[in-house]
Amino acid sequence: MQSWRDNLRRVTPYVPGEQPDKKKVIKLNANENPYPPAPAVMKAREKIRHLRRYPDPTASSLVRAIAGYHGLKESQVFVGVGSDDVLALSFLTFFNSDKAICFPDITYSFYDVWADLFRIPYEQKALDERFHIRVEDYYPENGGVIFPNPNAPTGILMPLSRIRDLLDHNRDVVVIIDEAYIDFGGTSALPLIDEYDNLLIVRTFSKSRSMAGVRIGYALGSEDLIRGLNDVKGSFNSYTMNQPSLVLGEASLKEESYFRDTLRKIIETREWLKEELLRLGFCFPDSKANFVFASHSRVPARDIFEAARKKDIYVRYFDRPRIDQYLRITVGTREEMELFVDFLEDYLFNINTGKF
């Protein structure tokens, strides 16, 4: 007999990331910002009103604020429920060729998932041995290109000259640059959207703006690209951004000095962390993100990961080819990172002396 279970969509079961419940953990595993959002955001909570009404389907107040912030037209801004929502919708909107889209083999883990979801053919291009994107791999004809800059989980930034090279070889497809981590010291490709009407820049409020809990992502690009996103989104879901996210997102954009201070602190802590990691025998690509992707010269990454967890310090370990000797360590507060470095010192010393 047939069963409804036969028609259930088959997916790889989801394993949620560790969300430790204890209060006193040091959580360096999700690239969250260690500082709270701007005080204006918390104050804006009282402006959350009119909840009985559907929210503005065009999210115009937030779109206007983002456009103003970046000096763009409102018609060049699209907002969504986190950059995951914006990126998935971009796949659906722009990647409808029979040719394979291209992205790095080591990169954000949802690209292949969305490609599978929307039945988009794809090719993963291997990073070089230093984890750099080889721009030449993206020269041949393809169905579109997407990569994060800085790349995740490596933190490596691609300079504008190479991005321009990639764009010059890809004028006929949409190129998406996922700039989730760009605020932590990278040079954005945003100025290039005037020159390349096929370039879409995707950003998020989750990292640099300390608002992962509010789910706001956005895309910037030519008016034609943004119209495409709006048309497709509107065709199947009118109301995605809720009223609270519109209010809180707008408030965040008004406190530039707080935002800059937070970024500066994270960047300073990251650079200090790099020195400490070097001293302790780690190597890592030069990260321009709010994490460091580090490998120890002698001690297996998994061992360090597990030992840290026993001390209530959570970092990220990926049991995947090529990167299974690396830990992705989110840059927390200076205090958190000092505790992490103290742990590493103890742990590595005890290993050397055979105490473990």
Stretch 157-186 residues interacting with a copy of itself (CB under 8 A): 172-174
Return the residues of window 317-346 that contact a copy of itself according to CB under 8 A: none
Q: With respect to a copy of itself, which residue has the nearer C-beta, 163 or 348?
A: 163
What are 172's strand-pairing partners?
none
Q: Which is nearer to a copy of itself, 117 or 341 (CB)?
A: 117
Find the shortest distance in angstroms from Cβ 242 to a copy of itself.
Answer: 4
By CB under 8 A, is residue 95 in contact with a copy of itself? yes
Of 78-86, 274-282, 298-306, 317-325, the window that binds a copy of itself (rule: CB under 8 A) is 78-86
Question: For a copy of itself, which is the closer residue by CB, 35 or 318?
Answer: 35
Pick between residue 19 and residue 352 the one whose CB is nearest to a copy of itself: 19
CB of 327 to a copy of itself, least distance (A): 19
Q: Is the peptide bond before 153 cis (omega within 30 degrees of 0)?
A: yes
The one segment of 77-85, 157-165, 185-193, 309-317 that binds a copy of itself by CB under 8 A: 77-85
11 binds a copy of itself (CB under 8 A): yes
Smaller CB separation from a copy of itself, 218 or 282: 218
Q: Give the footprint of a copy of itself on residues 12-31 (CB under 8 A).
A: 12-14, 16-17, 19, 27, 30
Within positions 190 to 249, which residues make up the interface with a copy of itself, using CB under 8 A? 198, 206, 210-215, 224, 228, 230-245, 248
Tokens of 231: 């048309």
User: Between residue 127 and residue 146, which ones bind a copy of itself under the rule CB under 8 A?
Assistant: 143-144
Question: Which residues between 28 and 67 bind a copy of itself (CB under 8 A)?
Answer: 30, 32-37, 41-42, 45-46, 48, 50-58
Under rule CB under 8 A, residue 289 binds a copy of itself = no
